[in-house]
Amino acid sequence: MSQHIFKLLAASETSAAVPRISNAKMLSEPENKGIHDIWVNEPENTKEFAGKRIAVITTDGVEEIELTTVLHFFRSRGASVHLVSPKKPDFPAIFGIEIPDIRATHIQTIHYIETAGWIAFDRLLDSVSESEYDAAVIPGGVWNPDSLRADPKVLDFIRAMAAKGKIVASICHGPWVLADAGLLKGRRATAWWSMKNDLTNAGATYIDEAVVIDGKFITSRSPTDLAEFVAAVGAAL
């Protein structure tokens, strides 16, 4: 099954028309063997995280490989994983923004700048409680966390998870949400390299490492850190 998914991923890509991340090219590089193996190899223990509940908080503009790798890794190992999204946005006409009807049930993923596909979400943010989950994961993609950090309901959910000692994990630009929730002050954390000042201004000590763990907070820098990131979240579970 995983081999089939990987072949489909590679076959679906055509020549780049805009700057993008090629998932197929990325996973074929030797340095990314750990991520490649997550997709290609069957897990040794398909019940490793049975009984564990994870909320993956995301919206339009999420980096596809970050979202799908997190979903695949934990679902294939027995965890109950919900992709949780804020409801379809409604902008004032003055902005001229049009949102397709599919957004009522799906979110738009990206490959860096290139739009990718639509992925159905499982739950609306309005319908979930922090008491339902053991961990919250926030993937990156610049547009996604920039929207999430402006949503008071997202910030309240993440704060509630942290207040109850639950795992809060984020990768790439995702730590923006943790910063705006006021959760990074006095903590060690990492993120996409250009966000060093954002994290520092939020009161964090920025560490340039693949994974930084501070208590129940887990952060990583980029898609190339995905194997280490999911392993760290799994170990915390």
Helical segments of 55-141, H only:
64-75
Q: Which amino acid is at 68?
A: T
Q: Which residues are catalytic?
A: 172-173
Beta-bridge partner residues of 188: 205
171: number of Cβ within 10 Å: 33
List the structure tokens of 156: 């309240």
224: number of Cβ within 10 Å: 18
Pairing of strands 135-138, 53-57: parallel
- Answer whether 58's CB lies under 8 Å from 148's CB: yes
The sign of the torsion formed by the CA atoms of 198, 202, 207, 210 equals negative
Residues contacting residue 17 through CB under 8 Å, at least 6 positions apart: 114
